[in-house]
A and B are shown apart, each in its own frame.
Chain A
Amino acid sequence: MDTMAKLAILAEAAKYDVSCSSSGVSRKNQGGIGNAKSYGICHTWSADGRCISLLKILLSNDCIYDCRYCANRRSNDIPRASFSPREIADLTIQFYRRNYIEGLFLSAAVEKSPHHTMEKIIKTLTLLRQGYGFHGYIHVKIIPGADPVLVQQAGLLADRMSVNIEQPSEESLRLLAPQKSLPQLYAPMQQVREQIRLNKEDRKRFRHTPKFVPAGQSTQMIIGASPDSDLTILKTTQALYQTFDLKRVYFSAYVPINQDSHLPAPATAPPLLREHRLYQSDWLLRFYHFQAEEIVDVGHAYLERDIDPKTSWALRHPEFFPLEINRASYEELLRVPGIGPKSAWRIVTQRRLAAISADQLKKLGVVYKRAQYFITCKGVCPSNQSFDPLIIRRLLSPPPQPEQMTLF
């Protein structure tokens, strides 16, 4: 099989992995090729609008597991292929020189055993880093069940590592991936978290200690393959951030690829809007100091479709509004729909010099269309609207449409 045919199979097999970020680490080029920028760089966008930053590829799609949701499960009759470490390294370097990619995202189906697969991954990374002098970004999948020593070795070569928990709850995982369990998936996450922490301590004392997973770890779960509510998903997400210091939790709207009694029928559209709302909530958790319990609760276990989660929170908390722009703290400003971390910072820095009036807000990057209902400027409410959640909800909801055409 030539490289062309293998690439076709193994890129196709890797496409359901969401993460493609190349941010969070600065790495210098030390006499070889490549570096990494903390802001991350996207190199192109595919026809589905997702960014391509890394060469996202499987080492092999020949899997011993039979997870129900997965395209590469053992019981699927699909062409199988494997790359050799040299082929992957060569492809990475040649793409990188042409500025097609920012680095490599290497994952693998579990071929023979977790140890065997992890060893092959390490061999590829070693070849790239040492053989080719590659200093670009590398994201690598941890194969659950692999020896902790192997995980550590890989961590010294990679920038980011991830284990996909795939399902937000133990029950769903047991149902859909009978050969996996949450404790088995959490073990390597726990290990990586501990070692990142130790490594940070060591680096304070010995400057040349090699970095261990400097861009942190991430994970991914599939949305809509199991009946879990948004409440479960967001609580799991929050717990993951807190317990394992994850950098990101990714959501992947389930694309029905397999015929299975436990899964949505193959004609079901992927829940893209739900995925979008979950990402918005994820941003609230990470950048807006929200708690999962504020976004969804037992009474509202699902996110609203018509209104984003932040506006939804604001409308449920009329006691908080309207806020005076010139007096509210940074934290309070972050709670206003239409104001983000950057515009909140601009407001705080500018109002030290002069009070801010309503017409200046747009220039500060505030989404005035939304924010106007929730604020006062110098004591005046710019929308001339008394704060009535019902009216504001009607004003902010999209006009009724026969069918939602596109998402973004």
Chain B
Amino acid sequence: MDYLYDSSFDGLLTCIYHHYYQQAATGIYPQDHYQLTLLNNSHVVTRNPAYAARVYAAIEEKISPSSLILVYQGFLSSSPGKENLILNYLRLGFRLGAAVDFYHSHPQVQPLHKIARQVTREVHRILGLLRFADQGGFLYAGLSPDHDILTLIADHFAERLANERFIIHDQKRNLAVIYDGQTMPEPELPPQRQWYLIPLDHKPESSLVEEDHYQQLWKLYFDKISIDFRRNPRLQAQFIPQRYRPHLVEFQPARQEPAPKNEG
């Protein structure tokens, strides 16, 4: 039986629940990309937060808290077969417990470790490569990451830029994190959630992304700090692949040319 789910994390965990309590799954797939076949019958699973919460707690207790993080990171990956990698990993994990993560090269473990590592690598990269532009009242940053990493980077910026207002906009998935550090609702009650994830499909008006003085200064600094004798664009490209450059101020051509197109 192939289980189809609604692409939410809770939906995926509900499928895992059914795998154990109803019928073993031959595979889990997102429902909107599923190809019907003659061989397998499929079943659309409705998301059930109560079931999901039980699986969530079970992973944390019976395997380990770091496993739960690993599964979530894997879920955020854009790798196509991620659901099945998670299913395979959990099947072994519920048998072996916390030791499962020491089977570094096991075929049910290693692939999930690998895609989770791709996600955490991109998270780390974006912590450095995100660029805010001052829009007057708030800071705006656009990005088009490979993986769905907004929820993993939001805390970092909320702590760092605690007194700012900002929007981090995933232009590929039309999602945004918004944070307001200037109007605190209750000073005595620290809010549980400091930022919110919202759907956002407008790109900012191009008049809003006007270049400010500090962008000029940054570009100047970027050029001046490089040593000509050591010029090495290949090495530079290893660290900053072309796909990240449309969002980086320092890689934009000078002002005279029309504003660069944002992909998304």
Task: Give the contact-size bracket for chain A.
Answer: 35 or more
B224 to A350, Cβ gap below 8 A?
A: no
A255 to B105, Cβ gap below 8 A?
A: no
Instruction: For chain A, residues 35 to 53, give those with C-beta under 8 angstroms from any C-beta of chain B.
Output: 35, 37, 39, 41-53
Let me know if B95 is at the binding interface, CB within 8 A.
Answer: no
8 tightest Cβ-Cβ pairs between the two chains A and B = A49-B235, A46-B226, A363-B105, A48-B230, A360-B105, A11-B224, A49-B232, A45-B239
Interface of chain B: mostly helix, strand, loop or mixed: helix
Instruction: For chain B, residues 84 to 106, give those with C-beta under 8 angstroms from any C-beta of chain A.
Output: 99, 102-105
Q: A46 to B231, alpha carbons, bound, how many Å?
A: 9
Q: A35 to B157, alpha carbons, bound, how many Å?
A: 10
Quick check: which of A78-86, A96-104, A199-207, A291-299 contacts chain B, the rest being far away?
A96-104
Q: A197 to nearest B CB, angstroms? A: 30
Let me know if B149 is at the binding interface, CB within 8 A.
Answer: no
Let me know if B72 is at the binding interface, CB within 8 A.
Answer: no
A408 to B235, Cβ gap below 8 A?
A: yes
* Contact digits for B208-235, partner A, Cβ 8 Å, 1 yes 0 no: 0000001111101111111111111111
Quick check: which of B2-10, B52-60, B159-167 contacts chain A, the rest being far away?
B159-167
Question: 6 new A-B pairs (CB below 8 Å) besides A4-B216, A35-B159, A98-B134?
Answer: A11-B221, A33-B162, A41-B128, A47-B236, A48-B236, A350-B105
Instruction: For chain B, residues 153 to 179, give those with C-beta under 8 angstroms from any C-beta of chain A.
Output: 156-157, 159-164
Q: A43 to B222, alpha carbons, bound, how many Å?
A: 11
Chain B residues with CB below 8 A from A52, complex form: 222, 225
Chain A residues with CB below 8 A from B132, complex form: 97-99
Chain B residues with CB below 8 A from A102, complex form: 128
Q: Enumerate chain A interface residues (CB-CB to B < 8 A).
A: 3-4, 7-8, 11-12, 14-16, 28-29, 31-35, 37, 39, 41-53, 55-56, 91, 94-95, 97-100, 102, 136, 253, 255, 269-270, 272, 346, 349-350, 352-354, 356, 360, 363-364, 406-408
Q: A31 to B161, alpha carbons, bound, how many Å?
A: 10
Q: A354 to B102, alpha carbons, bound, how many Å?
A: 10
A94 to B214, Cβ gap below 8 A?
A: yes
Q: B70 to nearest A CB, angstroms? A: 15
A47 to B163, Cβ gap below 8 A?
A: no
Q: A52 to B225, alpha carbons, bound, how many Å?
A: 9
Instruction: Show 12 A/B contacts (Cβ-Cβ < 8 Å), sorted by A.
Output: A31-B162, A31-B163, A33-B162, A41-B124, A44-B250, A45-B236, A45-B239, A48-B226, A48-B227, A49-B238, A363-B110, A407-B235
